[in-house]
């Protein structure tokens, strides 16, 4: 498939690309070769092949999401440089 200058400019606009005048010819040739290769894929018989939803058949082994107390407040604040009862004290960042 041949790509003309107008098509290249439209693709560049959609992709928010700035094409320099010296790059147009090489980009047209590259894009034409990619589209020609993609047209070859249309020649394949895929009538008996199921569409893929995932590239892998692997299944994640998720652990159950169970809430539990892992640290006490005292343990969490143990190494805090500044603290106020049960909270971390941090420098003020907003005026």
Q: What is the pLDDT along the chain (95 residues), one digit of tens a residue?
A: 788 889 999 999 999 999 998 999 999 999 999 999 999 988 889 888 888 887 887 888 888 888 887 888 889 898 899 988 889 999 888 87
Tokens of 79: 């190494």
Residue 31's closest CA among 46, 44, 14?
Answer: 14
Structural contact between residues 39 and 3, judged by C-beta atoms closer than 8 angstroms: no
CA 55, 61, 64, 69 torsion: positive or negative?
negative
Domain ranges of the chain: 5-41
Tell me the pTM.
Answer: 0.48
Looking at residue 57, its pLDDT comes to: 79
Alpha helices in 1-82 (DSSP H): 5-14, 24-41, 73-76
Looking at residue 56, its pLDDT comes to: 81
Tell me the residue length of the chain.
95
Using N-to-C axis directions, what is the helix angle for 5-14 and 24-41, rounded to 10°?
90
Looking at residue 15, its pLDDT comes to: 94
């Amino acid at each position: 498939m041949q790509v003309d200058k107008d098509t290249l400019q439209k693709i560049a606009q959609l992709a928010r690309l700035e094409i320099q005048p010296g790059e147009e010819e090489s980009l047209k040739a590259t894009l034409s070769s990619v589209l020609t290769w993609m047209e070859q894929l249309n020649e394949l018989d895929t009538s008996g092949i199921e569409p893929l939803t995932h590239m892998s058949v692997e299944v994640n082994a998720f652990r159950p999401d169970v809430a539990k107390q892992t640290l006490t407040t005292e343990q969490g604040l143990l190494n805090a440089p500044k603290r106020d009862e049960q909270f971390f004290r941090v420098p003020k960042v907003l005026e």
